[in-house]
Amino acid sequence: MLAMAMMGLPASAMASGATFNVRQYGAAGDGTRMDTAALQQAIDAAANAGGGTVAFPPGRYLSASLDLKSHVTLQLDEGATLLGSPHRQDYRPGKVFGLLRADQLQDIGVCGKGTIDGQGILLAADTERLSKEKKLPNAKEFSRPMLISFRNCKNVTIRDITLKDSASWVQHYLDCEHLTVENIKVRSISIANNDGIDIDGCVHAVMRGCDIDSEDDGICLKSDDQACDDVLVENCRVRSSCNALKFGTSSVGGFKNVICRNIEIYDTYEDAIALHIVDGGAMENVQISHIKITGSQNAIFIRLGNRKGAIGTLRGVTISDVTAEILDRPRASMNKLQASEVMTKHRPTLITSSIAGLPGHPVQDVTLRNITIVYGGVGSSPQPGQPRLDSLAKVPEKATGYPQGSMFGVLPAWGFYCRHVEGIKFDNVTLRVKNQDYRPALVCGDARNIELNGFHVESAGSEPVIVLNDVQGATIHDSAVPPGASSFVKTMGSTRDVQGP
């Protein structure tokens, strides 16, 4: 498992051979004159020579869409900026739509200490203008060019560069094989839908050492068609105005054999870890470990849904060695754009971590191990609209809803809420609330085979610590009753076969 991804790309992924300096092909590099023709000529010359490196010396190279070619690497030297045109009509439409385009190529790369700047605010505004003039059907995300749009390519390397201010997703790798994205920096909070990176249906992919700051999802795995299979994400840092580490929303092909480890998540305003199967497909053999979350609206959200009439499967997930501090308000470190987005999307009430399947379609075999989550607390007594134990049945299913941790509203647990699940294991999990929260730490409903081993709650509210509602089989051991708790375990409904504590 993951043997190919962990080894990285073969050496052939980075082009060798002659160097083709874009200045020698007429590129001005002054940031005002369009250099598209000169840059494309240099790329074509490298391809015609059997491959090589297209070098961008220091300068600002204004360009429309560029088509990469097999066996060619773009090298942006320190001080070099590839500047995307702010005019929407300069970008060629097609199955790949962006500043850098590649379709069915092999042995391609983009590297160097330079920058690719999409001028996203200006480009998005121009797209909006054309939409209002009825020259485009809309100005939504897929009407706006990405910085990098690669499809059906093999042996792709993206290394060391800075990607800045896209008008849509920053980079989209669709159905690619042997993909390495290494030591890059993303700074893109210019406009809505600025996903930091979308790895979509890729096989044998490695992402490591990257630093992402994005308006939309930070590191996003998708599967529009084929599965994301044999993927390694490690040693990354992520900030997002949406979700930091997300699988989905597109999930048709599914996700299997994925490792994500050693990731720092900070100032994230939806879910830190979000795993979704909502369009059909299967998720299996996913391992997420050594995650530090500092300031997020929610730590963990796992969802099996049914947006398109196809219910998939979600099983075999392990999340371990996680520490999380959960926010109940926007951070002062946000800029105005981020603060506006967050205040529009979120109420100040804290979001509860949750694992939610559907009736008859449980999320299965999820292990949470060595996890500590610190919450703020909503108070010692419920406010109007906040749930009590007599309202468990009122938590909405929202089977077809867009998946996000806040989708169910205020939940009847402050730590974890699990519904329509089977084989969920909490192993050495500590939940702490800074202030007070009247709700139980854990509520499980319509569940089978729940195991709590070393489940520690360091504060308790007026309701029982653990509530098991319609649970068939639960084992609780090495889990102490916290001081001041009204009671430890409350069983409700058809719950049976509970052992311990």
* DSSP class per residue in 36-88: HHHHHHHHHHHHHTT-EEEEE-SEEEEES-EE--TTEEEEE-TTEEEEE-S-G
SS3 123: helix
Residue 309: per-residue pLDDT = 86
Look at strands 228-240 and 203-208 and give their pairing. Answer: parallel
Q: What residues contact 492, with CB distance under 8 A and at least 6 apart?
A: 389, 392, 467, 468, 469, 470
Residues 6 or more apart whose Cβ sits within 8 Å of residue 212: 185, 186, 196, 197, 218, 219, 236, 237, 238, 239, 240
Rounded mean pLDDT, 340-366 = 76
CA-to-CA dists, residue 262 to 14, 179, 197, 210, 236, angstroms: 26, 20, 17, 11, 7
On the question of pLDDT at 238 being above 70, the answer is yes
Read off the pLDDT of each residue in 461-474 and give the average, rounded to a whole number. 92
Establish whether domains 1-216 and 276-501 are of one fold. yes
- pLDDT at res. 349: 54
**Given the structure tokens 């009439």, which residue do they identify?**
309
The whole-number average pLDDT for the span 95-101 is 96
pLDDT at res. 463: 84
Q: What are the distances in angstroms from CA 166 to CA 116, 148, 301, 444, 479?
A: 9, 9, 27, 42, 49
Every domain of the chain and the residues it spans: 1-216, 276-501
Query: Which amino acid is located at 136 in the chain?
Result: L
- Please give the pLDDT value at position 202: 97
Is the torsion defined by CA of 326, 182, 104, 99 positive or negative? positive
Confidence of residue 328 (pLDDT cuts 50, 70, 90): low
Q: Cα dist. 308→146, 221, 363 in Å?
A: 26, 19, 18
369 contacts 288 by C-beta, under 8 angstroms:
no
Retrieve residue 199's tokens.
């790895």
**Average pLDDT in the chain:** 91
Q: In 3-state terms, what secondary structure has residue 224? A: coil
Decide if 268 contacts 244 (C-beta within 8 A).
yes
Mean pLDDT of 50-64: 98
- CA-CA-CA-CA dihedral for 271, 274, 279, 282, to nearest 10: -170
Better pLDDT: 385 or 366: 366
Single-letter amino acid code for the residue at 393: A
pLDDT at 4 over 90: no
* Token code pair at residue 447: 């569940």
Identify whether the C-beta of residue 147 lies closer than 8 Å to the C-beta of residue 166: yes
pLDDT at residue 395 is higher than 90? yes
Fold of 276-501: Pectate Lyase C-like (2.160.20)
> What is residue 8's predicted lDDT score, i.e. its pLDDT?
43
- 18-42 pLDDT, tens digit per residue, is 999 999 999 999 999 999 999 999 9
Distance (Å, rounded) from C-alpha 193 to C-alpha 121? 12
CA–CA separation, 54 vs 73, rounded Å?
Answer: 6
pLDDT of residue 339: 43
User: Over the stretch 251-297, which tens digit does the pLDDT of each residue have?
Assistant: 999 999 999 999 999 999 899 999 999 999 999 999 999 999 998 99
* Residues 6+ positions from 135 with CB-CB distance below 8 Å: none
> Which residues of 126-184 form beta strands (DSSP E)?
146-151, 154-159, 162-164, 171-174, 177-182
Please compute, for residue 385, the number of CA atoms within 13 A of its CA located in the half-sphere on the CB side.
Answer: 6
Backbone φ/ψ region at 39: left (φ over 0), alpha (ψ -120 to 50), beta:
alpha
Q: How do beta strands 80-84 and 185-188 pair? A: unpaired
- Min mean pLDDT across 128-137, 180-189, 346-355, 417-426 is at 346-355
In 3D, which of 150, 213, 198 has the Cα closest to residue 177? 150
Output the pLDDT for position 445.
96
Residue 388: predicted pLDDT: 81
Whole-number percent of the chain with pLDDT over 90:
78
Note the pLDDT tens digit of each residue in 149-207: 999 999 999 999 999 999 999 999 999 999 999 999 999 998 889 999 999 999 999 99
This prediction has a pTM of: 0.93
Would the pLDDT of 346 be above 70?
no
pLDDT at 347: 44
CATH number of the domain at 1-216, please?
2.160.20.10
Per-residue tokens: 496 = 């049976």
Contacts of 473 (CB under 8 A, 6+ apart): 448, 449, 450, 496, 497, 498
Q: Which amino acid is at 254?
A: G
376 vs 349: CA distance, rounded Å: 9
